[in-house]
């Protein structure tokens, strides 16, 4: 296998890199493509190439995907709140870059498995209590709109035999290590992660708001599974709602309260942000994942298991 990971120097990209190296013995090369170089500590294998490239430029894209490429994991994106604030940048990175990557795969090797990282932000409007893989997209943000357009492109390029591609809609990933980012959902990790670092964090939404989440490890397992699955199992639209579970800020903070004293809870504030709440509350609160689970995707047991996994990782 010869793999390309866009956005590969970020958190998900580096976790994917480590998982691929640990579990895929047939890998010949992995190109980590980003706007910055991969951390030197992660250059643990001669198979890894760290490449600085601008995937919104056709010439750069042509240098990272060639006839020997077998898999592309397209993770690079301008995240939700950032894409809402900077429409032009969101369109450039989230939409134009995706089409350039798809066109390059079509040009050099139509059998490339292209895994597109999409989002629950493609949904919006008046959603049913529980959605499934047939629920229509109705995004309520520029980010969601850009991801929805890309899903349609991925599906059409696959239908026409230009590339062997699938889209995977990621749940809100928590608990992410590191620093907050510009995603509208950044607080979901922050209300646990920051207090555990003895830092302040704010919950900008109603504490009872249902959230659809998955742990980083489970998302990575499902991402790799999507790169290997027989796409004939996906009837019609080549899009997968990755399995998750429903939680809420209240339940999350209760886990923190059950494991630590009140000094940690005192670091959490509750100042509502209408812009963030409007975006996050438009996303699905529950998903019927029976189909995905039946074809090998997996889910976390509970938020408590996600919390415990994170606490163990930072020890």
Which residues are part of the catalytic machinery?
143
Among 285, 291, 283, smallest CA distance to 240 is for 291
Q: How many CB atoms lie within 10 A of CB 89?
A: 13
User: 239 forms bridges with which residues in the sheet?
Assistant: 167
CA angle (35, 283, 309) in 5-degree steps? 65
In terms of C-beta density within 10 A (0-12 exposed, 13-18 middle, 19 or more buried), how is residue 105 classed?
A: buried
Residue from 23, 221, 4 nearest 112 by CA: 4
Categorise residue 60: left if φ over 0, alpha if ψ from -120 to 50, beta otherwise: alpha
Measure the CA–CA gap between 11 and 229, rounded to whole angstroms. 24
Q: Is 94 in contact with 139 (CB distance < 8 Å)?
A: no
């Amino acid at each position: 296998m010869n793999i390309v990971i866009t956005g590969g120097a970020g958190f998900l990209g580096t976790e994917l890199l480590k998982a691929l190296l640990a579990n895929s013995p047939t890998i010949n090369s992995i190109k980590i493509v980003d706007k910055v170089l991969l951390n030197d500590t992660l250059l643990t294998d001669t198979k890894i190439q760290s490449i600085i490239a601008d995937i919104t430029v056709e010439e750069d894209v042509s240098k990272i995907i060639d006839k020997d490429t077998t898999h592309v994991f397209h993770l690079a994106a301008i995240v939700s709140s950032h894409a809402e604030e900077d429409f032009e940048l969101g369109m450039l990175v989230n939409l134009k870059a995706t089409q350039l990557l798809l066109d390059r795969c079509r040009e050099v090797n139509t059998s490339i498995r292209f895994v597109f990282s999409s989002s629950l932000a493609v949904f919006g409007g008046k959603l049913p209590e529980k959605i499934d893989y047939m629920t229509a997209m109705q995004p309520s943000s520029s980010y969601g709109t850009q991801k929805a357009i890309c899903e349609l492109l991925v599906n059409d390029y696959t239908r026409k035999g230009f590339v062997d591609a699938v889209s995977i809609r990621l749940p809100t990933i928590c608990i992410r290590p590191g620093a907050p980012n510009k995603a509208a959902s950044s607080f979901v990790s922050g209300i646990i992660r920051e207090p555990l670092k003895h830092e302040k964090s704010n919950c900008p939404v109603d504490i009872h708001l249902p959230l659809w989440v998955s742990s980083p490890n489970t998302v990575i397992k499902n991402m790799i599974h999507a790169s290997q699955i027989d796409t004939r199992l996906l009837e019609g639209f080549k899009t997968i709602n990755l399995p998750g579970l429903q939680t809420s800020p209240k339940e999350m903070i209760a886990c923190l309260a059950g494991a630590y004293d009140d000094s940690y809870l005192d670091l959490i504030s509750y100042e509502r942000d209408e812009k963030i709440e409007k975006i996050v509350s438009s996303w699905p609160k529950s998903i019927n994942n029976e189909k995905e689970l039946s074809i090998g995707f997996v889910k976390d047991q509970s938020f408590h298991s996600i919390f415990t996994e994170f606490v163990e990782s930072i020890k």
